[in-house]
Amino acid sequence: MLVPAINREEIVLEEEIGRGSCGVVYRGTCRHVQVAVKELNAIEGDEEHSRFWLEVSIMLQIRHPNVVNIMGACTNPKNCLIVTEYLPNKDLQYMLDKCHKNKETIDPLYALKFAHDIASGMHWLHCSQPKIIHRDLKPANVLIDQYNNAKIADFGLSIVNQEKEKLEKKLTGSPLWMAPEALEMKPVDEKIDIYGFSIILYQLLTTSPIPYDLTPFKKNFPKFLAAITTQNLRPQIPSSIPSSLSDLLTEGWHQDPAKRPTFHHILSQLGEIRCSMALRSDVNATSLWLKNFGDTDKVKVDQFCKVIYDFLDEDVPDPETKDEVQYQKYKCLLTICRDETAHIDQNRQGEKVPCTTLTRFGLLLVWFGPLQKQNATIPGFLERIYHTMKEHWFHGDISRESAVGLLTTAAETNLNGWLVRTSDQPSHPFTLSRIINKDKNPEFNHMRIAYNAAINKYQLEIKTTSNKKDKKVEKSSSSAGNVKLEGYYLSEIINQSSTLLYLKKKHIVSRKQYSDIFVNRKIAIANTFGYSDGTTSK
């Protein structure tokens, strides 16, 4: 393969962004494009230089969403540079360090998403011809792009980081992720990467910047090496980690390389685990995703909607249909299922296509689940989505800060503003946000609306005696104590609470989203407060 040669004069090195055993990485520009430039350690001799170019030519053939894109290399034998795409979000090690410093944890679903990305990229490398073994898989060699996708970096550079090199005799860097056979300088195969991946998976699940407690070793490398190779030392798995993941970890870092799974097996296992976890163990939803999309993380929105309609034994409505409500239901699903943080590249020109993700589907189930057909007593999945989105008070998944901003603006116009927004808490999928005091310093109240899966109803408990500031609640209460409201639809809860909480229709905070769904309606659609057109209440 012809290697895209880049002249040294075309590369402008800027700030240093990384340093490792292979060399130094800089942010830079090349041909007016922002890039990352790896300046490799000196390669001496014609034979080694030829091997370097052979490996670069192999690396340039790799095209995968979870592998860093290599754009070319410098031809100067004394100045070997590899030019790659630039990823601004740094690497996984940086993220783990930052989370640890801020005492934050990585959400389990995001942890599994990153793990799936890494396994997907590594599976591609292992299936390449010739097979590419990373040999140095660790968090610092996993970069994060602007869409929070993980990408494998520094693969295939065995010419720079020879197996015959002596290990650095200290408890930092790669040895923490190296398999026993590598630490003992024995011959290795692709199973060395399975071991490294398993250590990374453990770190993701526990938000650990380093996988071991190194205190007992006191920087004694031989003692650490012996613990890994002869005493089977591995990271301590917390009891909070599900058995399915615990088993995957212990299989992956098995002492015997032959007993470690392949990335093909790991991807299959991760897909099922992620799917069940993301979809809140909803049997119908999990089965639907695995059957139609497998371990894919994202799909086009229209494809997703078609699968949902097929499951519900309904036809996707035609835009020209006379039943406009049915088409509006479809548009509601099409809109609410879209993940604004993700996209699918449709073609080589990079055309971005809207998509839904496994995580987004999980949120839909939190808000409107379970995934079920409508029957005589219980609303179906689509009906709950439609009956919620058509309400003018529903603002979708806006943040608490955004809600406060909207309510503050309402207070400036002398309104006791209120709105309803989503929550990402499975037990309390919605939040009713309102102003309880619109004086110079407005006060806000955020009430969580629960969902009782046992009876398939939303619930809101209102305190009627203890809130002194919210006098409207006390005044409207007919008896002391709390009032619990229930309803199959969210609108039933809001309608019941309108008197207790003094929720006037004229005080609904205006929304902009979803208006295009209900514009130009041919039939009147009445909501809880009797609106019959598509305009927003003032």
**pLDDT digit string (tens) for 3-35?**
678 888 899 999 998 877 677 899 999 999 999
Task: Kindly report the average pLDDT of the chain as a whole number.
Answer: 85
The band of 349, judged by pLDDT with boundaries at 50, 70 and 90, is low
Examine the domain organization and report whether 145 and 233 are in the same domain. yes
- Domain identity same for 217 and 163: yes
User: Is there a single domain that holds both residue 108 and residue 80?
Assistant: no
Give dist(CA 291, CA 313) in Å, integer. 16
**Domain co-membership, 195 together with 297:** no
pLDDT of residue 521: 43
Residue 427 counted as domain residue: yes
CATH number at residue 438: 3.30.505.10
Count the domains in the chain. Answer: 4
Residue 535 lies in a domain: no
pLDDT reading at 322 higher than 80:
no
In a domain, 369, yes or no: yes
Check whether residue 102 and residue 181 sit in a common domain: yes
Of 375, 406, 420, the residue nearest 528 (C-alpha): 420
Residues 102 and 234 in one domain: yes
Residue ending a domain, among 275, 302, 334, is 275
- Per-residue pLDDT band for 525 (boundaries 50, 70, 90) equals very low
Alpha helices, H only, 369-470: 381-389, 400-412
Per-residue pLDDT of 392-406, as tens digits, reads 999 999 999 999 999
Residues 115 and 262 in one domain: yes
66 and 205 in one domain? no
pLDDT-derived band at 528, boundaries 50, 70, 90: very low
CATH code, domain with 342: 1.10.238
pLDDT value of position 256:
97
Q: Are residues 178 and 254 located together in one domain of the fold?
A: yes
What confidence category does residue 481 fall into, taking pLDDT thresholds of 50, 70 and 90? low
Q: Would you say residue 538 lies in a domain?
A: no
- Among residues 388, 408, 436, the one where a domain terminates is 388
Instruction: Tell me whether residue 228 is in a domain.
Output: yes
- CA 537 to CA 479: how far, in whole Å? 32
pLDDT band at 355 (very low <50, low <70, confident <90, very high): very high
Cα gap 252→270, rounded to integer Å: 13
Cα(first)–Cα(last) distance of the chain, in Å? 65
pLDDT confidence of residue 3: 62
Predicted confidence band at 2 (pLDDT cuts at 50, 70, 90)? Answer: low
> 164: domain CATH number?
1.10.510.10
pTM for the predicted model, two decimal places: 0.75
Per-residue pLDDT tens digits for 433-461: 999 877 777 889 999 999 998 898 999 99
Say how far residue 306 (Cα) sits from the centre of its chain: 23
State which of 388, 422, 443 marks the end of a domain: 388
Q: Which pLDDT score is estimated for 156?
A: 60
Give residue 177's identity as a one-letter amino acid code: W
Exactly one of 91, 117, 136, 193 is catalytic; name it.
136
| 201 and 270 both lie in a single domain | yes
Question: How many other C-beta atoms can be found within 10 angstroms of the C-beta atom of residue 401?
Answer: 8
- Beta-strand (E) ranges in 390-520? 418-425, 428-437, 443-452, 457-463, 482-487
The β-bridge relationship of strands 5-6 and 70-74 is parallel
Q: For this structure, is 282 an active site residue?
A: no
Q: Which domain holds residue 329?
A: 279-388
Closest by Cα among 207, 319, 328, 201 to 269: 201
Task: State whether 104 and 211 are in the same domain.
Answer: yes
Tally of residues, the chain: 538
Q: How many CB atoms lie within 10 A of CB 323?
A: 12
Whether residue 167 sits in one domain with residue 153? yes
What is the mean pLDDT of the segment spanning 84-95? 91
Residue 526's alpha-carbon distances to 324, 387, 521, 533, in angstroms, are 14, 10, 12, 8
The reported pLDDT for the residue numbered 348 is 60
* CATH number of 47's domain: 3.30.200.20
